[in-house]
Amino acid sequence: DSGVTQTPKHLITATGQRVTLRCSPRSGDLSVYWYQQSLDQGLQFLIQYYNGEERAKGNILERFSAQQFPDLHSELNLSSLELGDSALYFCASSRDSNYGYTFGSGTRLTVV
């Protein structure tokens, strides 16, 4: 157990639907990051939050949005899902940007 909790572990949904992925960071970590990893690919940075505020944005589609709540947990919302959105979505947390990241086990999203 890395200390970063992601739910659900697996998600199967149809095209056009909307899903919410949830992440609870490691205790004491203020930064939360979301990454997308397609099959056998690298880690594509989506977005970072720090203590409730958006700090950095990567290649996140307009159909995707995220937020970090006062208790520091974060949610990634994916809407109007397409087949190409099927991927592993990782959440990571750290004390701040220049510290090592602790990754969660990921949510495997399958869009059918």
Partner 1 sequence: GQQVMQIPQYQHVQEGEDFTTYCNSSTTLSNIQWYKQRPGGHPVFLIQLVKSGEVKKQKRLTFQFGEAKKNSSLHITATQTTDVGTYFCAGYNNNDMRFGAGTRLTVKP
Find the Cα–Cα–Cα–Cα dihedral 84, 81, 22, 8, rounded to 10°. -70
Give least dist CB 16 to partner 1, A: 29
Please provide the distance, in angstroms rounded to a whole number, between the alpha carbons at the two ends of the chain: 30
- The only residue of 42, 53, 70, 71 in contact with partner 1, by rule CB under 8 A: 42
2 SS3 class = coil
Q: Does 25 bind partner 1 (CB under 8 A)?
A: no
The stretch among 8-16, 20-28, 78-86, 102-110 that binds partner 1 (CB under 8 A) is 102-110
- Residue 103 is a binding residue for partner 1 (CB under 8 A): yes
Q: Coil, strand, or helix at residue 40?
A: coil
Does 104 sit near partner 1 (CB under 8 A)?
A: yes
Stretch that binds partner 1, among 9-17, 19-27, 42-50, 59-67 (CB under 8 A): 42-50
Could you identify the residue written with the tokens 């709540």?
Answer: 69
